[in-house]
């Protein structure tokens, strides 16, 4: 009987695996079609200066609303795109869309400086033409290149460190900034931090969201901020959701905040309404008051 149960379990597990493999294959197929039809959207999450609550920039995040699968999270479809060899095309589509949008906003709101962060996957960074093509993309869209930041993770950099460093240095030489994403979850290597041409380090959400339940996280966050500053890097706190977290982060000396406390990622029109038009109306009425 025990043997039978064991084999039933094994069979269910195998069925489960089959279903998984099938779902992966379906997703891969649907993703391909969605990309061909240019159906991927980009949402924008504000990055705010915690000292004055002002918008500094935004992170572009890929969104996929599939007719038959519904909303699929990037945590799910980005790895699929990586495995299926679609990531370069996907990354290119997202980057182009976001830069076209930024160029529009830079023209429409010339008095604002708006930074744009774009996520780059290991599979993209690995390619020898990555930096050249990324720079070409920026130049073809008329955006102010000094406002563009590329976000990479430690795991992306570490694969072939010499190659990654060369790619990132090429971006930096062209005027693009580099940000290390999800810091604290991977290797968190000090020597890696020192070796990459960074401007920003993003402290992973897991430290911020457990600040109250795990006292050690406060020390960790403070230490990361101090260490980054001593290296000359600025810090972004990811995943700030409460005013208590905001207060702590601000006291810890974090330079920028990104999180649901301010806003979740928004479609372009909503982002524009909330963060660009409103601010524009304010400054317009300021000027009229002076006359």
Residue ranges in contact with Mg ion by CB under 5 A: 119, 151, 181-182, 238
Q: Which helix (H) or strand (E) holds 115?
A: strand 115-119
Name which of 60 and 287 has its Cβ closer to ligand C2E: 60
CA distance 84 to 86: 5
Which range of residues in 16-24, 64-72, 118-126, 128-136 is near ligand C2E by CB under 6 A? 118-126
CB of 182 to Mg ion, least distance (A): 4
Name which of 151 and 291 has its Cβ closer to ligand C2E: 151
Name which of 182 and 272 has its Cβ closer to Mg ion: 182
Name which of 119 and 141 has its Cβ closer to Mg ion: 119
CA distance 77 to 187: 24
**Beta carbons of 66 and 29 less than 8 angstroms apart:** no
Binder to ligand C2E among 94, 135, 228, 257 (CB under 6 A)? 94
**Beta carbons of 109 and 276 less than 8 angstroms apart:** yes
The pair of structure tokens assigned to 160 is 């072939």
Binder to ligand C2E among 27, 78, 86, 266 (CB under 6 A)? 78
CA distance 166 to 218: 35
Residue 121 binds ligand C2E, judged by CB under 6 A: yes
The pair of structure tokens assigned to 63 is 């969104």
CB of 240 to ligand C2E, least distance (A): 6
CA distance 25 to 90: 17
| Partner whose footprint covers residue 62, from Mg ion, ligand C2E, none (CB < 5 to 8 Å by kind) | ligand C2E
Q: What separation in angstroms does the CA of 185 have from each of 83, 189, 207, 252?
A: 22, 10, 9, 19
Residue 133 binds ligand C2E, judged by CB under 6 A: no
Residue 46 binds ligand C2E, judged by CB under 6 A: no
Residue 149 binds ligand C2E, judged by CB under 6 A: no
**Beta carbons of 258 and 46 less than 8 angstroms apart:** yes
Question: Count of CB atoms within 10 A of residue 37's CB?
Answer: 8
Q: Output Rg (C-alpha) for the chain, integer angstroms.
A: 21
Return the residues of window 218-277 that contact ligand C2E according to CB under 6 A: 239-241, 258-260, 265
Which range of residues in 10-18, 115-123, 132-140, 169-177 is near ligand C2E by CB under 6 A? 115-123
Binding site for ligand C2E (CB under 6 A): 45, 61-62, 73-75, 78, 91, 94, 119-121, 151, 181-182, 205, 239-241, 258-260, 265
């Amino acid at each position: 009987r025990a043997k039978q149960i064991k084999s039933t379990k094994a069979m269910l597990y195998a069925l489960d695996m089959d279903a998984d493999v099938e779902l992966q294959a379906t997703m891969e197929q649907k993703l391909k079609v969605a990309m061909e039809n240019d159906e991927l959207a980009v949402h924008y999450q504000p990055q705010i200066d915690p000292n004055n609550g002002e918008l500094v920039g935004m992170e572009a995040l890929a969104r996929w609303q599939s007719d038959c699968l519904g909303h699929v999270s990037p945590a799910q479809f980005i790895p699929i795109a990586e495995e299926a060899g679609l990531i370069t095309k996907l990354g290119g589509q997202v980057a182009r869309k976001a830069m076209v949008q930024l160029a529009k906003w830079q023209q429409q709101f010339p008095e604002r400086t708006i930074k744009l962060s774009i996520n780059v996957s290991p599979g993209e960074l690995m390619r020898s033409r990555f930096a050249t093509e990324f720079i070409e993309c920026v130049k073809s869209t008329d955006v102010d290149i000094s406002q563009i930041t590329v976000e990479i993770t430690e795991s992306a950099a570490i694969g072939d460190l010499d190659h990654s460093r060369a790619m990132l240095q090429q971006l930096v030489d062209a005027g693009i900034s580099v940000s290390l994403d999800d810091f604290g979850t991977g290797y968190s290597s000090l020597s890696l931090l020192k070796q990459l041409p960074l401007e920003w380090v993003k402290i992973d959400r897991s430290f911020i969201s457990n600040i109250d339940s795990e006292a050690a996280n406060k020390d960790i966050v403070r230490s990361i901020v101090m260490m980054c500053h001593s290296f000359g890097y600025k810090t972004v706190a990811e995943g700030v959701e409460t005013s208590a977290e905001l207060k702590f982060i601000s006291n810890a000396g974090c330079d920028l905040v990104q999180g649901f406390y301010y806003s979740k990622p928004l479609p372009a029109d909503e982002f524009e309404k909330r963060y660009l038009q409103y601010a524009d109306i304010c400054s317009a009425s300021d000027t009229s008051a002076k006359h």
